[in-house]
Amino acid sequence: MPIEETVNALRVAFGDLPVSKFRGDTRAVVPTEKIYEALELLKEKHGFDLLIDITCVDYLNYPGAKDRFGLVYLLAGTVTNQRLTIRAFVNEPEPRVRSVASLWEGANWLEREVWDMFGIQFEGHPDLRRILMPEEFTAFPLRKDYPMQGLGERHNFPVLKRGES
């Protein structure tokens, strides 16, 4: 089944989606509140059984961008040998989207990473905790408004001196 048929099926189900192609990869933008249904459809009906990655882009101050965060879901079909990129946009103040951890077990840690780095809430996620940064960390370091050197968290530790240790 060519990828165009999959895209057409998506269009039938969710309206006229923006679709683009780049170097042989197809990308479709899905409405944020329909992301779970779209991915479920792709998994159950179109053979996209492998979730390769979930990641996110912060479009703060990006020329021409209308939304703050762009979520990216990279899908692949291991039988059909097809690839598809699904995107969805979320915005502040409370960026949230429905979790797909119930579709793919592997989404669990991927969504935790996106939460850790960008602060996107995944509704229905079984265990939404930080995965890379320490528990007590409060910022979301890959957001563009977070300074690269941090806000001093990296030096917020007790100092051990010779005599005391």
Partner 1 sequence: MAIADLMDQVVTTRLDELVSWCRKNSLWPMPFATACCGIELMAVGASRHDIARFGSEVFRFSPRQCDLMIVAGRVVMKMLPVLQRIWQQMPEPKWCISMGACASTGGVFDTYCVVQGIDRFIPVDMYVPGCPPRPEQLIQAVVDLQEKIQREGTMFGKEFYIASRQQTKRALQEP
Residues near partner 1, by CB under 8 A: 133-134, 137, 141, 146-163, 165
Of 111, 113, 116, residue with least CA distance to 99: 111
Q: Which residue number, 89 or 118, has a Cβ lying nearer to partner 1?
A: 118
Q: Which residue number, 64 or 158, has a Cβ lying nearer to partner 1?
A: 158
- 47 contacts 82 by C-beta, under 8 angstroms: yes
Q: Which residue number, 52 or 133, has a Cβ lying nearer to partner 1?
A: 133
Least gap, CB of 153 to partner 1 (angstroms): 6
Tokens of residue 12, six digits: 């039938």
Q: Give the C-alpha distances (Å, rounded to integers) separating 122 from 6, 103, 114.
A: 26, 13, 9
Least gap, CB of 97 to partner 1 (angstroms): 25
* CA gap 35, 92 in Å, rounded: 18
Least gap, CB of 157 to partner 1 (angstroms): 5
